[in-house]
A and B are shown apart, each in its own frame.
Chain A
Amino acid sequence: MPPFALLAVLLAFSAAAYHLGRRRAFALAGAGGRAQRLHSRPNYHGALVALWCGLPAILLFALWLAFESQVITRIVVEGLPEPQRSLPGDRLSLIVNDIRNVAGGRFEEAAADPAVREAAATYRRLLGLSRQALAVVTLSLAAAMALLVRRRLRPALRARNHVEGILTAMLVACSTIAVFTTVGIVLSVVYEAILFFRIIPVGEFLFGLSWSPQMAIRADQVGASGAFGAVPVFLGTALISAIAMAVAVPIGLMSAIYLSEYAGKPFRAVAKPLIEILAGIPTVVYGFFAALTVAPFVRDVGGLLGLDVASESALAAGVVMGIMIIPFVCSLSDDFINAVPQSLRDGAYSLGATRSETVRRVVVPAALPGIMGGILLAVSRAIGETMIVVMAAGLAANLTVNPLKAVTTVTVQIVTLLIGDQEFDSPKTLAAFALGLVLFVVTLCLNVIALYIVRRYREQYE
């Protein structure tokens, strides 16, 4: 039985259990519907049976599926002939991949070598066995639990309190998923990064000036070792982000000022949602726009001025990224400008200040902490933005701050290092995780500082 069908059957079991429990409760209450004899209403009896029927079985189902593949792989590897079994870790994992692919029908069977084919047959047989066992075990568990709980229903049973207790536990579990996600990110990224730093020292990674992560296939090839000095990558990220902020901050801030201080209601009602549309456009669209329209335009203009502009210039990617961030800066600044109390403006007007003087000397300084927080959030977004730079920025890591040259960024490198099939323990793929770690730490710091500033600022005027 395919897992999804099994899940559906389990849910159906659970629904049946609800009716079973409810009918039992009515029977306990006695004829004439004297539900007063029960501590809890019959629905709660039903829900209790349903929960006990469904939850353990579904938990088992999820755990089983999560670890099934690992267990089966272990068994299959044990069964491999001696020469393959004693291979080093990375070669072995390649073979395991082959076995899985053959078993999943993604490879031509005939092309594989006989040991792999045999192992794949074992794999497939074990998988089938496991699925059958899963169906039998979960369904009987569900049925057994339902019957067990149904037998224990009594008029005095505090079914409602039990059900509510289970529900509360489920709510708690759901709300801790965010924490587990963070832990998962940290663990997975840090673990792989540590593996990387065992091969390449941290110092060399953080301060090295040359980045060319291609590993040679043969040891005697030119550039066999690969270079993992990430400074050019960091510099490229900083350059593109700086260009983006140079576009987004003035335009976003001035738009926010105009919309909140000058624009009439009708204009604001039209313009604000339109600007926010910019925020809803997928980044891949910006990337396409950058590569198709902006980059050739920048190159042509540069050509007219007699400048030598790379076709994947940092300028094009940065400007488009800036456009993407405009609405972000605009709506945050707008919030903070609106939060400045009207009394401050009235005070300035009464001293004879013009509107622009009020804005420049009173409103913006008063809103500055919030705006700074917003800009920091925007910077963190620019650093982490992926698709625009993947499509419009370069791959080669040039150590330059010339916006007309092609540079590469952290996210571009992560994507290029990890796309496609890769072995998992070459420094090349591990480098992506080290870059990911840097990206995560930097954006996390920016976010924490920004959120702290913003919160402090909000409290100031509340």
Chain B
Amino acid sequence: MSKTQGHPRAGGTPENGRTIAVVRASLPRRYRSERRFRLLGLAAVVLSLGFLALMFASLIVNGVSAFRQTEIRLPVHFDPEVLHAEALAQADYGQLIRAALGRLFPDVEGRRERRELAALVSSAAVYDLRDLVMRDPGVIGQTREVWLKAGADIDMAVKGHFRRDLPEAERRVSDRQFAWLDRLAAEGRLEKRFNRTFFTAGDSREPEQAGIWGAVSGSFFTLAVTLMLSFPIGVAAAVYLEEFARKGRITDLIEVNINNLAAVPSIVFGLLGLAVFLNFLHLPRSAPLVGGLVLTLMTLPTIIIAGRSALKSVPPSIREAALGVGASRMQTVLHHVLPLALPGMLTGTIIGMARALGESAPLLMIGMVAFIVEIPKSFTDPATVLPVQIYLWADSPERAFVERTSAAILVLLAFLVVMNAGAIWLRKRFERRW
């Protein structure tokens, strides 16, 4: 520094002129690099948004068709020979379906052909027929047109997921079946109808019989436990740390703890749940109760951190005014500060709940990954949750499950969108600038 100052400024105008010339000469290059940098930045943003778009596009393309299920209209004769009034539940409903198919396609002969013909209709359709008869035994003896679910492979073929131009041996639907389907379609007996089963059934090995309702109920019970525990505890902890705690060693310790817990991998919470709740306390495996407890521990840090920042944003003048008219500190907090901070806390809680709804890794550890057909009815029934159901279906090799996995993801994302939109609405509605 001093050396440069010691030197007399070399020359004056001529040198300056040269500097400017140098700068001018370098300007095109510098502007080019400026443009490049800017484009690079834009490319990065576009790339991340592109990933988002790609992901959504692939989910929607794969998933939307699952909301509709191919059904076949068959003239089913409810044969009193088959349906004995005293044993309706055990009757052979498959025989009714085979008979109806036989009536539509009288020229089909041979065991293999018959079996292929029967495979048009889902093996689960018998339950639908049984339910129909149990509900209305008056149909016995009559012939009715009934819409029955098509088999999973047929469904995929109708939706165009199997290409017809492949050699017959390489596809799961034979030429004969395609011909029958064409005839059914021409007669108006083949239709894609709204897939109610998907929204009302539990899990199943048969894709056309599998639904998300069991997983949604499991998620509901799990989140209910999480909310009931984490909201009060989180609010209480935030209030104590922000309003009552004296700065000191212990408060620091708690703070560091909370910040670190927020960044601990979720699977570690699963290990904790397995070791403490299942192996030490012997709580039931696969139960929403345990899942809720684990998710509570996981979401607490989020809620506490959000709660503290909501409390911080309440101006001190409110507290001073309350204390000034003789309120105790507890009264100040409960009557004045907390109500003002509550919207912010609720927003944080909803965001924490949304995260808990999408969480699956710790729940795998505590056995919420079992194959469960029954729809859970309480906090201790074995259950699974929506993201884990997605994980389970994603593992299934059948093409029909790919479709259902994507559809289940769409439902999960819809829940998340609703929750986050709720949080944003809450923030906008109650946001206050002091």
Known interface pairs A181-B300, A251-B44. Does A284 touch B358 (Cβ–Cβ under 8 Å)?
yes
- Contact mask for chain A residues 139-183; partner B; CB cutoff 8 A; 1 contact, 0 none: 000000000000000000000100010011011101111110110
Q: Given A258-B42, A282-B416, A288-B409, is A178 in contact with B58 using a C-beta cutoff of 8 Å?
A: no
- For B364, the chain A residues whose CB sits under 8 A away are 386, 390, 415, 418-419
Given contacts A275-B48, A415-B361, A440-B264, contact A104 B239 (CB under 8 A): no
Residue A66, interface by CB 8 Å? yes
How near does chain B come to A293, taking the closest CB pair, in angstroms? 5
CB distance from B328 to the nearest CB of A (A): 6
User: Does A232 belong to the interface (CB within 8 Å)?
Assistant: no
Q: Is the CB–CB distance between A175 and B240 below 8 Å?
A: yes
Q: By the criterion CB–CB under 8 Å, are A188 and B394 in contact? A: no
A189 to B52, CA, bound (A): 37
Q: A259-B45, A287-B391, A356-B38 are in contact. Are A171 and B236 (CB under 8 A)?
A: yes
Given known A-B contacts A189-B271, A262-B38, A443-B263, A284 and B236 have beta carbons under 8 A apart = no
Partner pick for B263 among A278, A381, A411, CB 8 A cutoff? A381
Contact with A along B249-262 (1 / 0, CB 8 A): 00001100111110
Number of A residues whose C-beta is below 8 Å from B?
97
Give the nearest-CB partner of B30 in chain A.
A354
Task: For B23, list chain A residues within 8 Å (CB).
Answer: 352
Report the bound CA distance from A447 to B409 in whole Å: 31
Q: Is residue A4 within 8 Å, beta carbon to beta carbon, of the partner chain?
A: yes
Q: A175-219 toward B: CB 8 Å interface, digit per residue (1/0)? A: 111110110110011011000000000000000000000000000
B65 at the interface (CB under 8 A from A): no
CB pair A323 B51 closer than 8 Å:
yes
Interface contact A292-B62, CB-CB below 8 Å: yes
Which residues of B have CB within 8 Å of A259?
Answer: 45
A327 touching B48 in the complex, CB below 8 Å, given contacts A175-B240, A415-B364: yes
Tell me whether B275 is interfacial, beta carbon within 8 Å: yes
Interface centre among A253, A286, A440 (most CB of B within 10 A): A440
Contact with A along B229-250 (1 / 0, CB 8 A): 0001110110111001100000
Known: A355-B34, A451-B259. A284 touches B275 (CB 8 A): no
Name the contact of B268 in the complex, choosing from A253, A289, A418, A440 (C-beta under 8 A): A440
Contact at A164–B58, with CB atoms within 8 Å? no
* A278–B48 CA distance with the chains assembled, in angstroms: 9
A179's partner among B254, B265, B283 (CB-CB below 8 A) is B254
Bound complex: CA A211 to CA B364 (Å): 22
Q: In the complex, what's the smallest C-beta–C-beta distance from B287 to chain A, in angstroms?
A: 11
Q: How many whole Å from A158's CB to the nearest CB in chain B? A: 11
* Contact flag A356-B264 (CB < 8 Å), given A177-B300, A274-B49, A278-B48: no
Bound-state Cα–Cα, A70 to B409, Å: 40
Which single residue of chain B is at the shortest CB-CB distance from A391? Answer: B394
Q: Which of A389-406 contact B (CB under 8 A)?
A: 390-391
B45 touches A444 (CB 8 A): no
Distance between B383 CB and nearest chain A CB, rounded to angstroms: 13
Tell me which of B37, B239, B360, B388 contacts A356 (CB under 8 A): B37
> Complex Cα distance A429/B234, Å?
33
In the bound assembly, the distance between CA atoms of A327 and B48 in angstroms comes to 8
* Structural contact, B44 and A258, CB atoms closer than 8 A: yes
Measured in the bound complex, the distance between the Cα atoms of B173 and A352 in whole Å is 71
Which A residues lie within 8 Å of B378 (CB)? 4
**B354/A280 in contact, CB under 8 A:** yes
Verify if A377 is at the interface (C-beta below 8 Å from B): yes
Q: Which residue from A178, A179, A287, A433 sits with its C-beta under 8 Å from B271?
A: A433
Q: Is B318's CB within 8 Å of the partner chain A?
A: no
A185-B264, A356-B33 are known contacts. Are A178 and B254 too (CB-CB below 8 A)? yes
Partner of A448, one of B43, B51, B260, B359: B260
A171 to B388, CA, bound (A): 34
In the complex formed, the residue of B with least CB distance to A177 is B233
Write out, one digit per residue, whether chain A residues 242-282 have a CB within 8 A of any chain B CB (1) or not (0): 00000000111111011101110000000100110110111
Q: Considering only CB atoms, which chain B residue lies closest to A451 in the complex?
A: B259
- Please name 18 pairs of A and B residues whose Cβ atoms are closer than 8 Å in the assembled complex, sorted by A: A177-B300, A178-B237, A179-B253, A181-B272, A184-B276, A189-B271, A189-B275, A251-B47, A281-B358, A282-B387, A285-B59, A285-B413, A356-B38, A387-B391, A411-B265, A411-B361, A436-B271, A444-B264
- Chain A interfacial positions (CB closer than 8 Å to B): 4, 66-67, 69-70, 73, 100, 104, 106, 160, 164, 167-168, 170-172, 174-179, 181-182, 184-185, 188-189, 191-192, 250-255, 257-259, 261-263, 271, 274-275, 277-278, 280-289, 291-293, 323, 326-327, 330, 352, 354-357, 359-360, 377, 380-381, 383-387, 390-391, 411, 414-415, 418-419, 424, 432-433, 436, 439-440, 443-444, 447-448, 451
Given contacts A188-B275, A281-B416, 14 further A-B contacts (CB under 8 A): A66-B281, A185-B271, A188-B280, A254-B41, A258-B45, A271-B49, A281-B358, A285-B390, A292-B62, A381-B263, A384-B268, A411-B265, A415-B361, A451-B260
Binding site for A on B (CB under 8 A): 23, 30-31, 33-34, 36-38, 40-45, 47-49, 51-52, 54-55, 58-59, 62, 232-234, 236-237, 239-241, 244-245, 253-254, 257-261, 263-269, 271-272, 274-276, 279-284, 297, 300-301, 304, 328-330, 354-355, 357-361, 364-365, 369, 378-379, 382, 387-388, 390-391, 394-395, 402, 405-406, 409, 412-413, 416, 420
